[in-house]
């Protein structure tokens, strides 16, 4: 849910690229349920398969055909995925992936990016948004709880490093190599909505370092899978040991998935008695999500990803014009179907840089814009535009005009 004050927008209905709230406002939807609706709303083929499947089989403890079909599709497309298991959210996928990596490596500690987001598991939530007064030294960042009540013993299991700083990352992993067996990263960058992207060289160095130190590398592609037909890993040509997925692979229904090479995935195997990691769940691999996911993913042929990239570029060019025309300091950063409007002076490279560049003026404008854009007919989260195949060129042009008006309104309100 998106929390807006004084109350949230209550959704009533949606169609294609548009969403209508309970007050009767219809807006172009650039959130697409946190990047899960790759085809926008109510894609005909997806709605049809959901209706048919609902009449046939809602859920069962037995696997069903759609699970196999979706698994085969992911195995064919995603380089690191030879075997895959399904669950119900990205959070759950990361939780299970960590269990698998621990069982495989034999070491309990996990390393992740300072400022990285991987869902609601409290271990991985730590230091998601740390403040400068507490974050500690850059080469040994303090691990800070995200929620009150998080056990200190859990925080002791986490090690942090910064994005795009190869030397420090290598040094931190080397120093902790006897205890860290797992490294998790969203290969597209820092975390959803920040617009801070990973350099390919950094990902390559991380792959080389984890391999050398015997650590399991997890790519959290829960949202970055939308970057290309073979995910971000296919686009950059770097293959992790485990990939976690979610969002778009469910076609709009709840889903999570953990995939990897046969050797790592063998921790789940029941072939030789008790598996090292026991994984089950009431709704895992449920036929509704599997059917919707397979249908939505089948429609995402390579040309569709190219179309999304062209759409993203059209939007990026237009938003850059909007910044110039309204004399607003800022940048537009784009990766395929993800476009971010940043009001910072430079383009941030890591969490601390992003945090430091959020001066009160920058933060105030960033906080104000989603509301102003909502008034102009756009549904946008954190100044990030998540594309979908339902969005037309006309929608993009209307968006650029609406953002320009919102920037003018923001200036007048200053
Ligand atoms: N990982 C990443 C990179 C995400 O962006 C998200 C969701 N925003 C998650 C994990 C968690 O997924 P879910 O909300 O399905 O639990």
CA dist 54 and 229 (Å) reads: 29
Task: Give pLDDT tens digits along the chain (414 positions).
Answer: 556 777 888 999 999 999 999 999 999 999 999 999 999 999 999 999 999 999 999 999 999 999 999 999 999 999 999 999 999 999 999 999 999 999 999 999 999 999 999 999 999 999 999 999 999 999 999 999 999 999 999 999 999 999 999 999 999 999 999 999 999 999 999 988 899 999 999 999 999 999 999 999 999 999 999 999 999 999 999 999 999 999 999 999 999 999 999 999 999 999 888 999 999 999 999 999 999 999 999 999 999 999 999 999 999 999 999 999 999 999 999 999 999 999 999 999 999 999 999 999 999 999 999 999 999 999 999 999 999 999 999 999 999 999 999 999 998 876
Task: Give 208's strand partners.
Answer: none
Q: How far is CA 351 from the centre of its chain?
A: 16
Q: How many helices (H) and strands (E) does the chain have?
A: 15, 16
Task: Give 306's strand partners.
Answer: none
Angstrom CA distances, 188 to 148, 232, 233, 300, stand at: 29, 7, 9, 19
Angstrom CA distances, 326 to 111, 315, 366, 412, stand at: 42, 16, 15, 11
**pTM score above 0.95:** yes
- The residue nearest atom 7 of ligand 1, judged by CA position, is 119
Distance 165 CA to ligand 1 centre (A): 24
State which of 2, 223, 251, 252 you would mutate to test the pocket of ligand 1, scoring each by most atoms of that ligand within 8 A of its C-beta. Answer: 223
353 lines ligand 1 (CB under 6 A): no
Q: Which domains does the chain have, with CATH numbers?
A: 11-30+301-413 (3.90.1150.10), 44-298 (3.40.640.10)
112 lines ligand 1 (CB under 6 A): no
State which of 119, 245, 248, 256 you would mutate to test the pocket of ligand 1, scoring each by most atoms of that ligand within 8 A of its C-beta. Answer: 119
Distance 90 CA to ligand 1 centre (A): 5
Instruction: Provide the Cα torsion 310, 313, 317, 323; round to 10°.
Output: 140
- The residue nearest atom 14 of ligand 1, judged by CA position, is 90
Yes or no: say if 235 and 214 are a contact pair by the CB < 8 Å rule: no
């Amino acid at each position: 849910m998106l929390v807006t004050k004084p109350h949230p927008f209550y959704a009533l209905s949606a169609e294609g690229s548009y969403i209508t709230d309970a007050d009767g406002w219809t807006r172009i939807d650039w959130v697409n349920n946190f990047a899960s609706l790759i085809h926008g709303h109510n894609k005909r083929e997806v709605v049809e398969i959901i209706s048919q499947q609902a009449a046939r089989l809602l859920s069962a403890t037995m696997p069903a055909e759609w699970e196999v079909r979706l698994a085969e599709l992911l195995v064919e497309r995603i380089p690191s995925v030879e075997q895959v298991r399904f669950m119900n959210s990205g959070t759950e996928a990361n939780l299970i992936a960590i269990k698998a990596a621990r069982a495989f490596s034999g070491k309990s500690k996990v390393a992740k990016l300072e400022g990285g987001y991987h869902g609601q598991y409290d271990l991985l939530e730590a230091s998601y948004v740390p403040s400068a007064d507490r974050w500690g030294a850059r080469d040994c960042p303090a691990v800070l709880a995200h929620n009150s009540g998080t056990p200190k013993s859990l925080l002791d299991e986490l090690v942090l490093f910064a994005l795009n700083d190869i030397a420090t990352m290598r040094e931190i992993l080397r120093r902790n190599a006897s205890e860290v067996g797992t490294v998790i990263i969203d290969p597209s960058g820092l975390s959803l909505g920040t617009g801070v992207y990973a350099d390919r060289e950094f990902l390559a160095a991380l792959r080389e370092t984890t391999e050398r130190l015997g650590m399991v590398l997890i790519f959290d592609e829960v949202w970055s899978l939308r970057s290309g037909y073979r995910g971000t890993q296919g686009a950059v040509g770097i293959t992790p040991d485990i990939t976690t997925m979610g969002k778009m692979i469910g076609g709009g229904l709840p889903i999570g998935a953990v995939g990897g090479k046969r050797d790592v995935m063998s921790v789940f195997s029941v072939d030789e008695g008790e598996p090292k990691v026991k994984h089950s769940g009431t709704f895992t691999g449920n036929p509704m999500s599997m059917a919707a996911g397979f249908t939505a993913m089948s429609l995402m042929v390579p040309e569709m990803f190219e179309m999304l990239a062209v759409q993203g570029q059209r939007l990026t060019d237009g938003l850059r014009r909007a910044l110039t025309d309204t004399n607003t300091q800022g940048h537009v950063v784009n990766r395929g179907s993800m476009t971010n409007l940043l009001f910072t002076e430079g383009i941030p490279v890591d969490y601390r840089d992003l945090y430091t560049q959020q001066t009160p003026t920058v933060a105030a404008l960033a906080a104000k814009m989603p509301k102003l854009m909502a008034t102009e007919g756009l549904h946008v989260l954190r100044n990030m535009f998540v594309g979908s195949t339902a969005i037309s060129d006309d929608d993009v042009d209307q968006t650029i005009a609406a953002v320009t008006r919102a920037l003018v309104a923001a200036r007048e309100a200053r």
